[in-house]
Amino acid sequence: MWRNIFGPKFAQQAQNVDRRLDFFVYGGLPYIRSAQDIAFHVALFIARNGSYVNYYMYHGGTNFGRTASAYVITAYYDQAPLDEYGLFRQPKWGHLRELHAAIKSCSSTLLQGVQSNFSLGNLQQGYVFEEENGECVAFLINNDGVNSASVQFRNTTYELLPKSISILPNCQDVKFNTANVNTTNNTRIYFSRQNFSSIEDWEKFEDVIPNFDETSLRSNSLLEHMNTTKDKSDYLWYTTRFGYNLSCSEPTLVVESRAHVAHAFVNNTYIGGAHGNHDVKSFKLELPVTVNEGTNNLSILSVMVGLPDSGAYLEKRFAGLTNVELQCSEQESLSLTNSTWGYQVGLLGEELEVYKEQNSSDTWNPLGNVTANETLVWYKSKFETPEGDEPVALDLSSMGKGEVWVNGESIGRYWILFHDSKGNPSQSMYHVPRSFLKDKSENVLVLVDEGGGNPLAITLNTVVLANLNETESKLLSFPFPS
């Protein structure tokens, strides 16, 4: 885009500023770009005659509903100078504010002056802007990422920190150095405002596993997931029935998929699931199963966690099941790939819109006991809007994988069970905009969980900021509700 509008020189410079800030994906570690690195490349862009700085991102956000692309978490670039909640991320926000104040203080000369550049050493260089009236701006650059450097500029010695740029608005005094951060780091503190630990506060609705006979859409092949669902749901049921005539009594079900998740049910009994990841486009589910001598029903729930967002030939991308068979051994197997399959788009709870308060009065039952092996369960509870104007977040650390709604508004997908390489969930706090909440009546919370979730440990929190050296006092002085 830059190359088409502004030409190749601008495009090359812009790429230096807009280095890819990876969005966070489930199972991946976040890429956190430092305030110093961002400031360095912005200053370098300006020094090289750049005039339009594109930040990606300056304000983080939330992928509400099902808007996140493939495997991308619900929080979108939460490490931006303004985070997902609109709060300052320090030191980024403050450091960049100081940078732009320095640039603004000499903007006239940067726009009207004549630029020149020269070497100050093997890895050091200078850029100078001069006007006819004598006004002058200098950028002194040290490209050495390890060592400081002493440079001579206009009969004065300047100490440049490693990988830094010093800005001299009058070509004499250093007003800003990209590696010298004066802003104090801060952190977010979450205060629990309500827990949902009482069984009496919850209701549940168990979704229905469809069998082949209950489906109307049929095919003699495995249909592609995205074309079949038309993006109406993350979920597509593949179901078939088969007679079993292999020699072994407990075969292995082998399912190959190019979707993101698969859950398998044999004769309405859940036998297990598997998933892929952002970098590997296919995965395999292999599970031992118990089958009947007569007819058996196999139902496989294929799940997408966002659609592909980039790359060539998007219209030719394939998702969904590619091969299904029962194996006794390498020599003895029963292929189901070309059987007659029945399909159902979405979950029953989605069709009934149980997440909408007005549509769910007669579908809910008391929660009862929560067990670890429950799958495809909808949970509902209520909560009061926290006082104040601090941002609100749900802690879903105890849940498995699914989606969550507040007052009928989806606040996004969650996938707590998908841990990163350090054993932590990619995201556990989920932003609830206050615009979704009611002022003087109870709010309705609804979740659908694919398995492994415990709603009794969910908490509702408010979010405040504190400087790192003030965290303890902030905790002691915060006004908790009575």
Q: Which is nearest to 412 in space by CA: 420, 421, 403?
A: 403
Is 322 inside any structural domain?
yes
Is 233 inside any structural domain?
yes
For residue range 216-229, list pLDDT tens digits in order: 999 999 999 999 99
Same domain (yes/no): 385, 458: yes
Same domain (yes/no): 306, 367: no
Per-residue pLDDT, 27? 95
Same domain (yes/no): 6, 57: yes
Per-residue pLDDT, 293? 86
Per-residue pLDDT, 19? 34
Give the C-alpha separation, 418 to 420, whole Å.
7
Q: Which of 315, 346, 377 is the last residue of a domain?
A: 346
Is 184 inside any structural domain?
no
Q: Which amino acid is at 307?
A: L
Whether the model pTM is above 0.95: no
Q: Concatenated DSSP letters for 46-77?
A: HHTT------TTSB-EE--TT-S-TTB-SEE-
Is 182 inside any structural domain?
no
Low-confidence ranges of the chain (pLDDT < 70): 1-22, 359-361, 469-482
Is 145 inside any structural domain?
yes
Same domain (yes/no): 147, 23: yes
Per-residue pLDDT, 480? 44
Is 482 inside any structural domain?
no
Same domain (yes/no): 376, 285: no
Same domain (yes/no): 30, 125: yes
Is 183 inside any structural domain?
no
Query: CA 392 → CA 258, 283, 433, distances in Å?
Result: 36, 36, 7
Same domain (yes/no): 132, 198: no
Per-residue pLDDT, 294? 87
Q: Which of 328, 346, 364 is the last residue of a domain?
A: 346
Same domain (yes/no): 77, 91: yes
Contact 415, 426 (CB under 8 A): yes
One-letter-per-residue 3-state SS of 236-267? EEEEEEEECCCCCCCCEEEEEECCCEEEEEEC
Q: Which of 305, 325, 346 is the last residue of a domain?
A: 346
Per-residue pLDDT, 10? 31
Same domain (yes/no): 117, 67: yes
Secondary structure letter of residue 88 according to DSSP? B
Residue with tokens 């694919």: 450
Please give the backbone phi and psi of residue 359, each rounded to the nearest 5 degrees, phi first: -110, 10
For residue range 309-323, list pLDDT tens digits in order: 888 998 889 999 999
Structure token pair of residue 371: 């067990």
Domain of 411 in residue numbering reads as 189-206+351-477
Q: Could you tell me the CATH number of the domain that includes residue 325? A: 2.60.120.260
Same domain (yes/no): 234, 328: yes
| Total number of domains in the chain | 3
Is 134 inside any structural domain?
yes
Same domain (yes/no): 302, 329: yes
Per-residue pLDDT, 400? 97
Same domain (yes/no): 171, 66: yes
